[in-house]
Amino acid sequence: MATLNFTSSLKPSSLMPETALHSFIVEAGEPFVFEILEGQTLRIVDLKGNQAVDTVFYNAKDYSDRYSAQDTIREQGNIYLTTGTKLLSTEGRVLLEIVADTCGRHDTLGGACAAESNMVRYDLSKRSMHACRQSFLKGIQAWKHGMSKSDLTSNINFFMNVPVTPEGKLTFEDGVSEAGKYVELRAVMDVLMVISNCPQLNNPCNGYDPTPVEILIWDKHV
């Protein structure tokens, strides 16, 4: 079993934003769908702090081969994602590897918020509030290629803190992220990235204030 020490997993990157091939701002409540090629490096920057970035990755050549939260945490023996984590697909491929992380802990058990789960979790009246799975559906419908709800699998929540206790309790805590913190991943193969920058207003996953994030992508040979 891997033993990940929270502070030792902190690792900054030497890549300079000026040399990035692409840069995008994704506002809270918006989907973002983009292909990342093998060898390219992706950085997600929590611009204002405490923002949850709900993300799923797919094998770019076969979307039915996609990120598997359960396989990823089991094979590394730890439920949190950080530097060194290999994101595994359902068919056992390494999609991406986390190569730098100034936050130190990312969740993959908490899933994505939805109109329906908000009704269950908070109140039946919350149905009309915006939610990640609204964004995910909008994003994949716009991307086309036959994607549908069946493709929306258990996701990663970058910058989100969902601790599990030894007694098996699961809680949503204040984020461990701050303005300017980032996570960086190298694509081990061509992948499709589907993001919902979380609009949740009912719990502390965004510090009750959803904010924009920055996406930077560097080419293979930087």
Partner 1 sequence: MPMSLESTLLFGDTLPGGATWSHVLKRGTALRITDVEGGANVAAYFLNFDNRSERFNLPDTLKAQHTARLREGHVLFSDMGRVLCSITEDTVGWHDPIAGISNAGLIEKKYGKTTYQQCRNEWYQNARDGFLIELGKYGMGPRDLHATVNFFSKVVVDDLGNMRYVAGNSPAGSYVELRAEMNVLVLLNTSPHPLDPSPVYGPKPVELSVSRVPMPMRDDRCRTLCPENARGFVLTELYFL
Report the interface residues with partner 1, using CB under 8 A.
1-6, 63-65, 68-71, 73-74, 77-80, 90, 92, 105, 109-112, 114, 116-117, 119-121, 123-124, 133, 148-151, 153-154, 164-166, 168-172
| Smallest gap from residue 138 Cβ to partner 1 (A) | 16
Q: Is the dihedral of CA 34, 76, 175, 138 positive or negative?
A: positive
Phi, psi of 94 (to 5 degrees): -85, 115
| Smallest gap from residue 7 Cβ to partner 1 (A) | 11
Comparing CA positions, the residue from 72, 66, 60 lying closest to residue 106 is 72
| Smallest gap from residue 217 Cβ to partner 1 (A) | 27
195/156 Cα distance (integer angstroms)? 9
- Conformational region of residue 138, where left means phi above 0, alpha means psi within -120 to 50, and beta covers everything else: alpha
Indicate the residue among 24 and 117 with the shorter CB distance to partner 1.
117
Indicate the residue among 32 and 67 with the shorter CB distance to partner 1.
67
Contact by Cβ (8 Å): 30, 142: no
Indicate the residue among 77 and 180 with the shorter CB distance to partner 1.
77
Indicate the residue among 40 and 161 with the shorter CB distance to partner 1.
161
